[in-house]
Every structure is written in structure tokens, then in C-alpha cells.
Amino acid sequence: MTTDDATMTEALRRVVDAQIGPRHAGAIYRNTDGLFEVLAVVRDPKQARALLNRRCAQFALIVKDITRHDGEPFVIGSVWTTSDFLVREAGARRTTAEAIA
């Protein structure tokens, strides 16, 4: 890998990190669509593209809407925006009921 390749790889990693934001496995976040727990973060572009059926995906998140009793995990590729709000950081030990309150 050349220096230019390493620089580009690092730049892409930083962009992807910013797009994922604080949504790491175990985090809970809220936006206009609901309240979601992040179950997994897929950073392998090939796997993310297959999960999302998008040719240019660099990451995918597997989330679950925790306000629905019958909520099933699903895959998203949306970026973190100013309309997203972190309710619980990944690794924090709180119950879902505490996060909703």
C-alpha cells in the first residue's frame, strides 16, 4: 500500500466513523422514526452492500425498535445527523425501560 492509498483509507475510515456516529453495539438512540437499540455495526463494505442491497454502502447497522413489543431487528444504512439523539452509550448497563423514561 502506498502512502497515498494509506491516506485515502484513513480518510474514508474517518468519514465512515462520522456517519456511524456514536451508534455502537448496545447504544440506544432516538430520532423522528423511533427509539432504536443498535444490535450490530457492520463495517465490512462487502457485507454492508449485501445486507443493504446498495452498491456503495460502506457500513450497515442492525437495529431494533424498542418501543414495539413485536419489533424485529432490521438493517439500516442511514448516517448520524443532528436529528439523532443518543439516549444510552454503548456499554452502559441500563434496562430498556430506564432508557425510555
The pLDDT tens digits for 36-88 are 999 999 999 999 999 999 999 999 999 999 999 898 999 999 999 999 999 99
Looking at residue 6, its pLDDT comes to 84
pLDDT tops 80 at residue 94? no
pLDDT tops 90 at residue 21? yes
- Rg (C-alpha) for the chain, rounded Å, is 15
- The owner of cell 465512515 is 16
**What mean pLDDT comes out for the span 25-31?**
97
Q: For residue 34, count CB atoms less than 10 angstroms from its CB and return exposed for 0-12, middle for 13-18, buried for 19 or more.
A: middle
Looking at residue 93, its pLDDT comes to 59
pLDDT tops 70 at residue 95? no
5-9 contacts, C-beta under 8 A, 24 or more apart: none
